[in-house]
Amino acid sequence: MDSFLKQLLSRSLSRRDLVKNTSKVSSAIALAGAIPLPFSASASAAEVPDGQESVRHSACLVNCGSRCPLRVVVKDDVIVRIEPEDCPDENVFGKHQIRPCLRGRSSRWRVYSPDRLKHPLKRVGKRGEGKFKRISWEEATKYIADELKRIIDKYGNEAVYYNYQSGAYYHNQGTTAWKRLLNITGGYLRYYNTYSTAQISVATPYTFGEYGASHFDQIRHSDLVVFFGMNLSETRMSGGGQVEELRRALESSQAQVIVIDPRYTDSVITEHAEWLPIRPTTDAALVSALAWTLITENLIDEALVNRYCVGFDGSTLPEGAPSNGSYKDYILGTGSDNTPKTPEWAEAITGIAASRIRQLARQIAGAKACYIAQGWGPQRHANGEQSVRAINTLPLLTGHFGLPGTNTGNWPYATKYGVPSLPDGNNPVTTAIPCYLWTDAVLNPEIITDKTHGLRGKEKLDVGIKCIVNQAGNTLVNQHGDINRTSKILEDDTKCEFILVIDNHMTPSAKFADILLPETSYLEAQDLVDNSYASGSHHYMIAMQPVVKPMWEVRSTYDICADIAAHFGQRDAYTEGRTQAQWIEKHYAEVKEKRPYLPEWSQAKEMGVVDQQAATEQQGIALAGFRQDPVANPLKTPSGKAEIYSARLEKLAREWVLPEGDKITALPEFCAAKESHLDTSLTGKYPLQLSGFHTKGHTHSTYSNVRQLHEAAPDEIWMNPLDARQRGIANGDKVRVFNDRGVVEIQCKVTHRIIPGVVAMPEGGWTRRNAAGVDVGGCINTLTSHSVSPLAKGNPQHTNLVEVSKV
């Protein structure tokens, strides 16, 4: 550690020497329309002689789960290029560069994009038309304070909603700044769930009591790896993140990898894996048939399963459960549906050959240490909770849990370095909606109750959402399901009376703002941040400098919110007398108190990556204590065991009111999803399953306006040659993708890398409707549904039926 630190310090000193030779602040760059406001952070931009390059340090704060440091070369206050940070020769990982991906490396194009928001704007046309006039910061902050006061007076704080967002994970501006402000004004309607993990985070605790998974590093000890819809090579691309941890682990163990996915992803290639193509929404059917094989071929240690689990067979069924209600009954066909879950039964549902299902069961049973995990694609479906619980059951049935080289069936979060954020205070409003139901909370709040819509903290929603604060998010329009419906709801300004959007760009959501504010991009901001949630066992802290002066009138939201607080007479309560830079320094001091080896802040703030660490191997095994001694280390379930049969879910199923066709089940059963290939009410009209995926070309809708990235990784709909031939479509053709909700035009990639009967489109393209109402921006959410999954009330944005034709 010492030598690592010494190297970091010497790096920063030489840089400081460079910076010391300053003459004057360079002149405003050509792109800036002048009026840069004073940035609250101490140093604004690099102070180096004109015409000389200098190096500054920032980080990519988007929501890809990674957090890559960016080494930014600046000349005359203009970003010249972006590089990976130096890799110290020796650190906790050996040579380890937290290497940014193509998106982070292209940040300069996002900062200098012509659609940057430059000034505060006020809507002048109809809502959604995108017509605005420029106003001053004083007018904007006063108007916002007045609207907040008006709405809180008239409807109460529950009418104010802070929308789900994930565009910029700052610690000392952005989300925490807004929540702090809203709490000072009396609070706001909460949400639970995320667009990422609704089904998996709600369903998992029914089996295990809480969410947990083993670090990928455990794969060093595995001989077999089974991944359900897990695509690290495209979704966790950072050199400091999980894809790198997995690569190193696989290199060490040479484990065999099987990837179950409707698409032949980049991960299949980079992991040298076998691809098992599966129909979307059917993972629970596959697992059921694996269980059938395991049981009928005596490949299960039943005593072991009964020791750790509830409901595998009748001997561990909880009181009150039907006598034929065990998992074994469900699988063997002696349960209430009288259907044996044979591999032939599953073949018809999943598209995977019965013989391959049998073989897979034997492979898993015969492995010494099988690491089973799922990405979040399998759960972002109308029956996602069932897939999650089924996949979680597989390690339990096969004994591959709690031991080196094994997992829980879930995806592992990272160890956090532990950098504090601006405290957001206390929200006195305790009511919470599932985040995917916000449009309903605008449109018809009167129908939202605990038993029908999963409302928490209250039986029934009293008022709907009358004010939306939408910061660094595009779920207001682009990232939410059924854009045509959402737009219509938002266009009516008698429903939601005030919409505030804070962004960097004129996005599809920004066009729906009443007041539109420009924030700094992260390259113009100062902050102190953690590693993000997908860096695996690797964790670190990054000090971000403003690499160029904030351009035009863009500002940090910390300063914006402090000004709004002042209109409530609460500036001091908001700031506690600190500038943003002083909060950052305070947080650094708190970290240093726990890690005394760290350098002083005056040095650290110019270092970029200040420190990096790795979790120990032993910390990385989920359920280790439980496996060792299930009585001494019970799970947080009601029984203390892993619950294959959940009495809590059986009770919910009786008490909740579900839409027709929706099911909550005590066992991890396969339930055919609405709008899947098994939904014959629709397949005549719309015969193709449309699944979405997260593309390496952008992070959701962020970076989607960087044209260079589209050249590297274009947005295309993937289609199997069999389906293409039937429709007269050739590779590269422009096609029309449609269902009852809308029409999208996009280029078609005809490829064997996708299973027949399924098409797949990247999410995150910016919606753009032409005069005929066709989305020529290629946004999948013109086609997706706003309705929710049964238990989590989560987004089913991968479950869609469509037809495709050549334009």
Ligand X SMILES: Nc1nc2c(c(=O)[nH]1)N[C@H]1C(S)=C(S)[C@@H](COP(=O)(O)OP(=O)(O)OC[C@H]3O[C@@H](n4cnc5c(=O)[nH]c(N)nc54)[C@H](O)[C@@H]3O)O[C@H]1N2
Residues binding ligand X (CB under 6 A): 63-65, 165-168, 195-196, 228-229, 231, 234-235, 237, 260-263, 265, 278, 280-281, 283, 375-378, 380-381, 471-475, 479, 502-505, 507, 519, 521-522, 691-696, 699-702, 760, 763-764, 780-781, 784, 797-798
Q: Is 67 in the site for ligand SF4 (CB under 6 A)?
A: yes
Q: Determine how many CB atoms are found less than 10 A away from the CB of residue 319.
A: 5
Phi and psi torsions of 132, nearest 5°: -135, 160
Which is nearest to 282 in space by CA: 799, 649, 802? 799
- Which C-beta is closer to Mo ion: that of 464 or that of 794? 794
**Which residue among 68, 496, 609, 744 contacts ligand SF4 (CB under 6 A)?**
68
Which is nearest to 455 in space by CA: 468, 440, 467? 440
Query: At its nearest, how many Å lie between ligand SF4 and the CB of residue 117?
Result: 21
**Which residue among 8, 32, 46, 60 contacts ligand SF4 (CB under 6 A)?**
60
Beta strands in 566-647 (DSSP E): 609-614, 642-643
Q: Is 101 in the site for ligand SF4 (CB under 6 A)?
A: yes
Torsion of CA 342, 345, 347, 350, to 10 degrees: -110
CB contact set of 365 (below 8 Å; sequence gap of 6+): 294, 297, 299, 300, 398
In the block, residue with structure tokens 């008490």: 655
- Quick one: which H or E segment has residue 430? none
Listing DSSP states for 344-407 in one string gives HHHHHHH---HHHHHHHHHHHHH-SSEEEEE-STTTSSTTHHHHHHHHHHHHHHHT-SSSTT--
Query: At its nearest, how many Å lie between Mo ion and the CB of residue 771?
Result: 33
**Which residue among 26, 58, 175, 196 contacts Mo ion (CB under 5 A)?**
196
- Quick one: which H or E segment has residue 243? helix 242-253
- Which C-beta is closer to Mo ion: that of 176 or that of 196? 196
- Selection from Mo ion, ligand SF4, ligand X, none that 235 binds (CB < 5 to 8 A by kind) is ligand X
Q: Is 238 in the site for ligand SF4 (CB under 6 A)?
A: yes
CB contact set of 743 (below 8 Å; sequence gap of 6+): 736, 737, 773, 774, 775, 782
- Which C-beta is closer to Mo ion: that of 12 or that of 781? 781
Beta strands in 443-553 (DSSP E): 467-471, 498-503, 515-518, 527-530, 538-544
Query: At its nearest, how many Å lie between ligand SF4 and the CB of residue 571?
Result: 34
d(CA 539, CA 614): 6
Query: At its nearest, how many Å lie between ligand X and the CB of residue 29?
Result: 19
Count of residues engaged in binding Mo ion, rule: CB under 5 A: 1
- Selection from ligand SF4, Mo ion, ligand X, none that 784 binds (CB < 5 to 8 A by kind) is ligand X
- Which C-beta is closer to ligand SF4: that of 101 or that of 429? 101
- Quick one: which H or E segment has residue 196? none
d(CA 101, CA 696): 9
- Selection from ligand SF4, Mo ion, ligand X, none that 567 binds (CB < 5 to 8 A by kind) is none
Query: At its nearest, how many Å lie between ligand X and the CB of residue 176?
Result: 13
Amino acid at 394: L
- Which C-beta is closer to ligand SF4: that of 235 or that of 782? 235
- Burial class of residue 476 in the structure, from the number of CB atoms within 10 Å of its CB (0-12 exposed, 13-18 middle, 19+ buried): buried
> What is the Cα 577 distance to its own chain's centre?
34
Residue 602 corresponds to which tokens in the numbers above? 């005056």
- Selection from Mo ion, ligand X, ligand SF4, none that 234 binds (CB < 5 to 8 A by kind) is ligand X
Contact criterion met (CB below 8 Å) for 688 and 758: yes
Query: At its nearest, how many Å lie between ligand X and the CB of residue 659?
Result: 21
- Which C-beta is closer to ligand X: that of 278 or that of 291? 278
- Which C-beta is closer to Mo ion: that of 196 or that of 421? 196
- Selection from ligand SF4, Mo ion, ligand X, none that 702 binds (CB < 5 to 8 A by kind) is ligand X
Q: Is 698 in the site for ligand SF4 (CB under 6 A)?
A: no
Query: At its nearest, how many Å lie between ligand X and the CB of residue 350?
Result: 9
**Which residue among 41, 45, 62, 754 contacts ligand SF4 (CB under 6 A)?**
62
Q: Is 64 in the site for ligand SF4 (CB under 6 A)?
A: yes
- Selection from ligand SF4, ligand X, Mo ion, none that 157 binds (CB < 5 to 8 A by kind) is none
- Which C-beta is closer to ligand X: that of 502 or that of 614? 502
Q: Determine how many CB atoms are found less than 10 A away from the CB of residue 634.
A: 14
Q: Is 100 in the site for ligand SF4 (CB under 6 A)?
A: yes
Bridge partners (DSSP) of residue 72 are 56, 82
Q: Is 157 in the site for ligand SF4 (CB under 6 A)?
A: no
- Which C-beta is closer to ligand SF4: that of 514 or that of 715? 715
Q: Is 66 in the site for ligand SF4 (CB under 6 A)?
A: yes
CB contact set of 221 (below 8 Å; sequence gap of 6+): 253, 369, 404, 405
Query: At its nearest, how many Å lie between ligand X and the CB of residue 264?
Result: 9
Binding site for ligand SF4 (CB under 6 A): 60, 62, 64, 66-68, 100-101, 103-104, 237-238, 699
Binding site for Mo ion (CB under 5 A): 196
